Amino acid sequence: MRVLGIEGTAWCASAAIHDTETDEVFIESNAYEPDSGGIHPREAAEHMSEALPEVIDTALAHAEDDADPGGIDAVAFSRGPGLGPCLRTVGTAARAVAGSLSVPLVGVNHMVAHLEIGRHRSGFEDPICLNASGANAHLLGYHDGRYRVLGETMDTGVGNAIDKFTRHVGWSHPGGPKVERAAADGEYVDLPYVVKGMDFSFSGIMSAAKDRYDEGVPVEDVCFSLQEHVFAMLTEVSERALSLTGNDQLVLGGGVGQNDRLREMLVTMCAQRGVDFYAPEPRFLRDNAGMIAVLGARMLAAGDTVPIAESAIDPNYRPDQVPVTWRGTPAPSPGPTDTPTNAESNTGATAGLTPIDRRGAEATVETVADDRVRKRRVPKDYRHPALDATLRRTRTTLEARLLHEARRAGVPTPLVHDVDVPNATLILQHVGTTDLADEITPDRVREVGAHLARLHRAGIVHGDPTTRNVRVGGDSPLLIDFGLGYHTGHVEDHAMDIHILAQSIQGTMTDPDPFVAAAESGYAAVGDADVLDRLRTIEGRGRYR
Ligand SMILES: C[C@@H](O)[C@H](NC(=O)OP(=O)(O)OC[C@H]1O[C@@H](n2cnc3c(N)ncnc32)[C@H](O)[C@@H]1O)C(=O)O
Ligand SMILES: Nc1ncnc2c1ncn2[C@@H]1O[C@H](COP(=O)(O)OP(=O)(O)OP(=O)(O)O)[C@@H](O)[C@H]1O
Ligand SMILES: [Fe+2]
């Protein structure tokens, strides 16, 4: 089977032929390079109109040259997300070619294509995907017929954030490769570091980077530190997603994935965690029609074609909207990687308390006495040592303080018996019998919603209230792991806490709605209505900018 793929969501006019017999992927691309500034939607669309016919002709000619000339079985095209004027040009071209060859049309989600190309090339069964592209940044995991968004940028895409900084210093588009080159001669300076559960944001770090540059910090140092912070954030949230879902494979997608330092960090994190990692070669990372043709072929084989009359493009097409028709019955979930490993060999637990020996995303937690656990934030080899030391120290201090303050606000948490900041270690009361994720009920989630509202009333956010950061088995669920918490009275920060809880439920459960509704009703019973209103705004934000 041979599929013609057509791509043109923003800057790259591209056509490809995927031959499923040989697995060969022929790609022909023509990049739009703005004279000044960033991508102008109108100019980009003009580029598509000019360049697409040529790249499509070249791809079709390649198919003609083959042993079996002319045999194209379908035309797959990027249906979204992307710039509307560009997508319309791509859609028109795809319909015209499909019509003239009398073959079916396949409408491909560009973001899912960035993920599936890594899955296809690696042969991984069920990976988490970090997509690090220009207009997007998110973590996807497959669950029950859909790709779920486990975490994503709360403002701009990662490439666009970097490109905005390079525009500020007067460098031409695209900025990512220039930052990578300049970083080779740079030294570390402190910048903001913002992760919220598995979500993250770039606006603070980007304005700080511009300020440092304006203050006279050498541009090489700013570039080096930008990479160290931004890519450590992406690596950290990837590890959090692996820990939450229990998956043991990670693939990378998107144009920023061409960056050596990002790939190095992901390789190091996965090796330290014992997880398989795969990054496709650069021609499949940056925008390209090869990934559209490859996913198009899988969709075609599943009968997932679209009639011309229904083939409208969608500039805001989210990956979690796509019914995943081409994956068979999912492999049984491997189970969380942080389940006890040597429970039996551990002694000293009192009746009712199972000894613990776990590795979360950040820390190891082990039973050290009848009713005590030691939580140690282990050094992360992927992070710059200065950033690593700062994060482990500040999170340990914050966690100890906020656990205490939360309890005073009426929210059950473990007692803190000892704090050793230089070693990033806490001795905590052993609480609960299992994580909420393992024994989730709507009633328990409702109580967690109410606990979050109590925290917020006391001016605290948890920062990472996933279903693995709640312990159950006693009277009321207990909140643990306050390392990403902080003091704030902002409605937006409070709404983010509920968003993170909801995302962890939606990312891992087959029928999440009753649980999410329970979380909100628990919150509503104690907290401010404003917060739930803001939650709707957060959920409704189109983040493809
Ligand atoms: C919707 C679609 O149009 C969009 N595509 C896109 O953003 O192009 P992509 O090829 O995936 O990524 C381009 C980005 O990738 C960055 N980039 C390229 N090489 C880089 C490098 N060596 N280091 C860092 N960033 C790099 C560029 O600066 C640019 O921001 C997307 O996937 O979000
Ligand atoms: N006080 C405690 N009592 C009982 N179990 C605990 C306690 N603290 C942690 N655990 C167990 O250890 C696991 C990891 O702990 P924790 O979430 O604090 O670490 P982490 O590395 O920050 O995790 P992540 O960042 O992945 O959420 C928890 O999911 C829980 O099962
Ligand atoms: Fe892309």
Residue 327 lies in a domain: no
What percent of the chain clears pLDDT 70, i.e. is strictly above it? Answer: 94
In this structure, the answer to whether residues 129 and 158 fall within a common structural domain is yes
Answer whether 373 contacts ligand 2 (Cβ < 6 A): yes
For residue 174, give the CATH number of its domain: 3.30.420.40
pLDDT in tens, 397-429: 999 999 999 999 999 999 999 999 999 999 999
Above 70 in pLDDT, residue 25?
A: yes
Q: Is pLDDT larger for residue 186 or for residue 68? A: 186
Q: Is pLDDT larger for residue 312 or for residue 353? A: 312
| CA–CA separation, 241 and 268 (whole Å) | 16
| CA–CA separation, 518 and 449 (whole Å) | 8
The closest-lying atom of ligand 2 relative to the alpha carbon of residue 360 is 21
Q: Is pLDDT larger for residue 349 or for residue 388? A: 388
Residue 113 lies in a domain: yes
Question: In the predicted model, what is the mean pLDDT of residues 301-328?
Answer: 95
> Ligand 1 center to residue 154 CA distance, Å?
18
Residue 333 lies in a domain: no
In this structure, the answer to whether residues 349 and 496 fall within a common structural domain is yes
Residue type, 3: V
pLDDT of residue 148: 94
Q: Is pLDDT larger for residue 459 or for residue 336? A: 459
Residue 508 lies in a domain: yes
Residue 326 lies in a domain: no
Residue nearest atom 9 of ligand 2, based on CA coordinates: 365
pLDDT tier, 457 (very low <50, low <70, confident <90, very high otherwise)? very high
In this structure, the answer to whether residues 84 and 47 fall within a common structural domain is yes
> Ligand 2 center to residue 428 CA distance, Å?
10
Question: In the predicted model, what is the mean pLDDT of residues 59-77?
Answer: 83
Catalytic residue, candidates 126, 464, 481, 493? 464
* Nearest to 374, CA basis, from 386, 362, 383, 366: 366
Above 60 in pLDDT, residue 330?
A: no
In this structure, the answer to whether residues 350 and 422 fall within a common structural domain is yes
Above 50 in pLDDT, residue 544?
A: no
Above 90 in pLDDT, residue 370?
A: no
pLDDT in tens, 224-259: 999 999 999 999 999 999 999 999 999 999 999 999
158-168 helix and 203-214 helix, angle to the nearest 10 degrees: 20
pLDDT tier, 13 (very low <50, low <70, confident <90, very high otherwise)? very high
pLDDT of residue 119: 98
In this structure, the answer to whether residues 94 and 124 fall within a common structural domain is no
In terms of Cβ atoms closer than 10 Å to its own Cβ (0-12, 13-18, 19+), residue 366 is middle
Answer whether 375 contacts ligand 2 (Cβ < 6 A): yes
CA angle at 412 for the pair 409 and 413, rounded to the nearest 5°: 105
CB 471 within 8 A of CB 492: no
Residue 57 lies in a domain: yes
133 is in an annotated binding site: yes
* Residue showing tokens 């989210």: 318
In this structure, the answer to whether residues 412 and 501 fall within a common structural domain is yes
pLDDT tier, 354 (very low <50, low <70, confident <90, very high otherwise)? confident
Above 80 in pLDDT, residue 335?
A: no
Provide the mean pLDDT of the chain.
Answer: 93
Q: Is pLDDT larger for residue 522 or for residue 337? A: 522
Domain that holds residue 223: 119-282
In this structure, the answer to whether residues 22 and 100 fall within a common structural domain is yes
pLDDT tier, 337 (very low <50, low <70, confident <90, very high otherwise)? very low
Answer whether 152 contacts ligand 1 (Cβ < 6 A): no
In this structure, the answer to whether residues 90 and 201 fall within a common structural domain is no
pLDDT in tens, 101-148: 999 999 999 999 999 999 999 999 999 999 999 999 999 999 999 999
CB 535 within 8 A of CB 497: no
What percent of the chain clears pLDDT 90, i.e. is strictly above it? Answer: 89
> Ligand 2 center to residue 416 CA distance, Å?
14
Catalytic residue status for 370: no
| CA–CA separation, 480 and 274 (whole Å) | 25
Answer whether 110 contacts ligand 1 (Cβ < 6 A): yes
Above 60 in pLDDT, residue 348?
A: no
Above 50 in pLDDT, residue 220?
A: yes
Answer whether 245 contacts ligand 2 (Cβ < 6 A): no
> Ligand 2 center to residue 467 CA distance, Å?
11
In this structure, the answer to whether residues 217 and 186 fall within a common structural domain is yes
The ipTM value here is 0.96
CA end-to-end span of the chain, whole Å? 36
Residue 468 lies in a domain: yes
Residue of 434, 469, 484 to test ligand 2 pocket, by largest number of atoms within 8 Å of CB: 469
In this structure, the answer to whether residues 177 and 218 fall within a common structural domain is yes
For residue 471, give the CATH number of its domain: 1.10.510.10
- Total domains in the chain come to 3
Residue 20 lies in a domain: yes
In this structure, the answer to whether residues 478 and 540 fall within a common structural domain is yes
pLDDT of residue 340: 39
Q: For 482-521, what is the HEC assignment?
A: CCCCEECCCHHHHHHHHHHHHHHHHHHCCCCHHHHHHHHH
Q: Is pLDDT larger for residue 279 or for residue 344? A: 279
Question: In the predicted model, what is the mean pLDDT of residues 206-219?
Answer: 98
Residue type, 424: A
In this structure, the answer to whether residues 313 and 197 fall within a common structural domain is no
